[in-house]
A and B are shown apart, each in its own frame.
Chain A
Amino acid sequence: MGLIEKLLSGFQYLLPHHLLSRLVYAFMRIRLAPVKNTQIALIGSMVGVEWAEAKIQNISEFENFNAFFTRELANGMRPIDPDPLSFISPSDGRISECGRITNDRILQAKGHHYSIRSLLANDPLSAEFINGFFHTIYLAPRDYHRVHMPIAGKLQRMIHVPGRLFSVAPYTVRQVPDLFARNERVVSLFETTHGPMAVVLVGAMLVSSMETVWSGVVTPPRGRKIVHGDWSRRDINLKKGEEMGRFNMGSTVIVLLPPGAVSSIEPYESSDVMVMGQKLGRLR
């Protein structure tokens, strides 16, 4: 098992990640009705989409497969936890890992940690999250793919960190060191009533398209340099539970909160199922 996992994840180092991702990107945007309708029906059933939750019920109304993939849900499908002091799951998916950050080390999987600074591309706010709290949530292809605010916040910065696109399937997460700090990602830093908050959207194999509500599609293009965007003067205030971005295919969201912000977190474990709006913990 261990060797197979190592071989499979090792093999991923050799693949042309971004080329594959761009092919899938194009494939997901075919508009030709018979093609995209078949894609939606076939792939949707294969991965086990909950059809009844979607706002648009008629497949032919989706512009392309991607529109289906990032579909809106019908009203009331994802109630936001009513406790005013709770912080909530930003997306559907499963807990990859969660808990306390030890020093500046975030747990990736048993035996693997990565540093706050590598995840946040050395942003000065990194120091604020030392000994803080993290939640890593892994989205599956069937899941609802929009990402929402864990608590209300005002956008300060957005950092696009180009990187590789390893799969974020559990076996790769176990095998590739610093996976979330190697993959391409979009870091959003907010100011909240409880201090700073980081929400990181991590790209993955075949999944390099992420967008945010304030800037539209961030990637692709892939770029080669880290891009730091200052948004603090743009007055982008988002409420708890409001949409902040979306994956144009599945991947991973990481939420960081500083140590002084949180009084307790729910005792979730790896692979527990999350739905957007569900309580992750309580603020002070």
Chain B
Amino acid sequence: MKKSKFSRRALLVALASVSGWLLLTPRRPQSQGNASGSGQGPAQTPTHAAKPGSGRGPGGSTANTVMLTNSNVFNPQVTWVNGRAKITNAAKPNIPAGNRIGFLFDGGPQMYLDQLPDISFPPYTQINIYTVISPNPVNRSVTYTDKADCIITLGAGPV
């Protein structure tokens, strides 16, 4: 059984998905925060920087591993600062005029536009970064100019 890339079911679901998205118009105007439009969102329930041991354990990994698509779009560099990992993009992707680059971590929902956020992660975290380049990256119904998926699995960090 090979998965069909262009199955009728997939197309139907994709259509349903898009139409659902287009219908996703706000019904209640009670804004709960002043969004920046860059996906930063409102202040939520207070959280703090993730602490070591707050995750689900290391599994079998001890060193950082990276699995990725399209390293010309996103190619991570991991830097450890005070026991936490910061991630930067060593790639220099082509962003055509009128396009923007967006980053989604682990399925969002926040999308960070134009640059990576200044955030860091404790050891043993797995981070799945999706990169999209598009005239309107936050719109699900567009075809992306370029895209990438990068899975970084942190190890123990410097001892």
The answer to whether A and B assemble together is: no
B interface residues (Cβ-Cβ under 8 A, vs A)? none
